[in-house]
Copies of this chain bind each other. A is one copy, B any other.
Amino acid sequence: MNSVVQTRKEEIIKTAAKLFKEKGYSAVTMRDLAAAMGIKAASLYNHITSKQDILKAIIVSLAEEFTREMNVIKASDLRAIEKLKLIVALHVEITVKNTYGMACLNNDWMHLEEQLEHYLQLRKTYEQDFIDIIESGIISDEIMDANAEIIMFSILSTLRSLYLWIPKKEAVNANDLAETLSRVLINGINK
């Protein structure tokens, strides 16, 4: 695909993610999307085949990006706490870069059709990898001996909510935010 066509498709996907965030996936029509792009609805179909096609492009590509990065982190020989810091930084970085996409991932994944199973499998594996890292940290005595699933839930809930919070900040420095969040999530807040 040539780069002009690719760019237009990316633009459609970005605009759609913003509309899905604002109105909810179900309420957005291809006509709304064309209007937001300032083009005719018919022209959209040169680039994408359906709303479902866009949803898939947004969500599955994000989920696959998380999976790829988790595999890199898993395979590294870092200590568990360092791996967790990389996971925090990964969520901050992706959410700062693609806030609307992350909103769509969180709010609209249940509207996926033939890709739903694939998405759920990626999510399940990601959560299990997360738990495995925490458990390895408990065994190596880096992490306190508490229920690994509660720890995973607690950290991941915060990371998954970043899309709600980042847009309210005027200028987020991803490195600063990742560092403060890592301190809060890993070292706790008490002195």
Contacts and interface: CB of A to CB of B under 8 A. Distances in A.
Contacts of A151: 184, 189
B187 A188 contact: yes
A186 interface: yes
A86 to B, nearest CB: 15
A interface bracket (residues with beta carbon within 8 Å of B): 20 to 34
A188 B191 contact: no
- Which of the listed residues A24, A143, A154, A186 has the most CB atoms from chain B within 10 Å of its own CB? A154
Interface string A153-191: 111011011001100000000000100110111111111
A53 interface: no
Main secondary structure of the interface of A (DSSP, over half): helix
Contact of A189 (B24, B143, B177, B181): B143
A158 B153 contact: yes
Given A157-B157, A158-B158, A161-B160, A190 B186 contact: yes
A64 interface: no
A154 B184 contact: yes
B150 A180 contact: yes
Contacts of A185: 154, 188-189
Listed from nearest, the 8 A-B pairs whose CB atoms lie closest are A188-B188, A157-B161, A187-B188, A157-B158, A154-B158, A154-B184, A153-B165, A150-B180
